[in-house]
Amino acid sequence: MSYSPDIVNRDGKDYLFCAWRRKYVRLTPEEWVRQHFLHALVEDFAYPQALIAVEAPISVGEVNKRCDAIIYNAQLRPLCIVEFKAPTVSLTQKVFDQVAVYNRRLGVSFFFLSNGTTHYACRVLENSYQLLPDIPIYSYLCQNT
């Protein structure tokens, strides 16, 4: 993948252009991971850019949350939750639990976690999840929901 982010500096702070949100957003370590991972999904794994929502709002009980990204199928049903962390943040059980909370609302069949150096792709089973050997191509998600 050869993603070259469009970065600008405003008042001493760096911003990069997010194609999904169609605006410049503050360049944080987590945002760096998000942009690189999502561009890899589109360019290397054939995920349709238009079917990825970034910072997607969801309600969990009476609390409003935001999923880092949600991947949808052509019928706009959620297929996969994607959670990003900064490279300095370990992908611990707490991160898996965070996705599980989101999934109680969305009921997806897959989730991905990434901190830019470590990536997990998981298939959601009835009472657990199965680690996949790699990030699957988009058609795999569509065929296995």
Predicted local confidence at residue 89, as pLDDT: 96
Q: Is 1 within a domain?
A: no
pLDDT in tens, 69-94: 999 999 999 999 999 999 999 999 99
Q: State the Cα–Cα distance between residues 39 and 88, nearest whole angstrom.
A: 21
State the burial class of residue 96 (Cβ atoms within 10 Å of its Cβ: 0-12, 13-18, 19+). middle
Predicted local confidence at residue 1, as pLDDT: 57
Q: Is 19 within a domain?
A: no
Q: Is 16 within a domain?
A: no
Range of the domain at 82: 28-143
Predicted local confidence at residue 3, as pLDDT: 83
pLDDT in tens, 36-71: 999 999 999 999 999 999 999 998 778 888 999 999
Domain total of the chain: 1
Q: Is 6 within a domain?
A: no
Read off the CATH number of the domain in which 49 is found: 3.90.1570.30
pLDDT in tens, 19-31: 999 999 999 999 9
